[in-house]
Amino acid sequence: MRSGALARSEAVASRPIVVAHRYEVIGEIARGGCGAVYEAIDLDHGQLVALKILTSGTMDRAAAARFERESRVAGAIHHPNVCAVTDSGTLEDGSPFLVMERLYGETLRTYFARMGRLDPDQAIELAVQMLSGLEAAHALGIVHRDMKPENVFIVHRKGSLPLVKLLDFGMCRRKTSHRVDDHTLTRVGTVVGTPEYMAPEQASGLRDFDLRIDLYAVGVILYEMLTGTRAFYGADARAVLVSVLARQLPSVRALRPEVPVVLDRIVARAVERDPRARYFSAAEMQHDLLNARTAFRRQRAVRAQARAQVPVKAEWEMPTLQSQPRFSRPARTRTGEGW
């Protein structure tokens, strides 16, 4: 089965399309530069899954083999905050595919556009869940390398907090070449990332980087959640790269003074240019965020209690009954016929 044939057949679907003799395609969910994601039924288990098929033209044989190895590793991450990968393989034309759990919700990027900047409590909750998923990945030696709002999926749950699911653990690799790709600003196939969320050592093309590039990216995302503005920007990808390498970020409180000082300091540490000055693990950053949230909630409760203990008398409030003048009934006079 060919991936191109899969795309063409959707318009003239005369018979069910089945991938790997197991996954019956229902329809397209999303499409990007590397391929497309389809909704499908796992015929073996009778459940809906997401089927991601990468375009063979964007990957050479070595990159495809690397993709398959990484998909197997990603499948080993069993964590509520990581999108589960249950299967992988290749089509007849060599196009790799992944089978993932079917998620319903929206990416953090879409959530940003709809909600604007977030309440500190909400921003902390989302960041804590991101770090929880990253901690599980890092424990297996997996560095995401492309943390960004598009790879953070928000699953909305009725009566409960949103659930974060991390997507695409370095899976979208481009064909190896010596040109510089405008999307990644790296030698294609050597460094994966998106300019706005790449740590300086990653953006400069250095090979010597570790899991702290993921923590840096979470710091940038947290900065944007709290301020409602992009941390780094430019007219094109290269201008963004210059901004990442040279721009000194204003503090969160400079843009939003009501954000607690402790939260401002956490973000500042996460986005330090020097990796040695950043958090050294997802667990450490998560610990500080949880403590900040506890302090933030306690302060908010104290302020609410203080407001509740100060009665405010409305201007229109009626006087109490005791303050109203008393009116006496006129005295009756007795006549010969009675009262």
Residue 210 is among the residues annotated as catalytic for this protein: no
| Structure tokens, 116 | 């604007």
Nearest to 185 by CA among 263, 244, 141, 135: 244
DSSP labels, 179-200: SBPTTTSSBTTT----GGG--H
Residue matched to tokens 């330090």:
272
- Measured CA to CA, the distance from residue 200 to residue 329 in angstroms comes to 89
Q: Which amino acid is at 83?
A: C
- Measured CA to CA, the distance from residue 244 to residue 238 in angstroms comes to 10
- Measured CA to CA, the distance from residue 131 to residue 264 in angstroms comes to 17
Nearest to 184 by CA among 173, 193, 171: 193
- Measured CA to CA, the distance from residue 80 to residue 74 in angstroms comes to 13
Q: Which residues contact 337 (CB under 8 A, 6 or more apart)?
A: none
| 118 three-state secondary structure | coil
Which listed residue (119, 121, 146, 168) is catalytic?
Answer: 146
Burial of 187 (0-12, 13-18, 19+ CB in 10 A): middle
DSSP labels, 159-177: TS--EEEE--SS--PPPP-
Say if CB 267 and CB 289 are below 8 A apart. no
Residue matched to tokens 């990332």:
193
Residue 122 has, within 13 A of its CA and on its CB side, a CA count of: 16
Known catalytic residues are 146
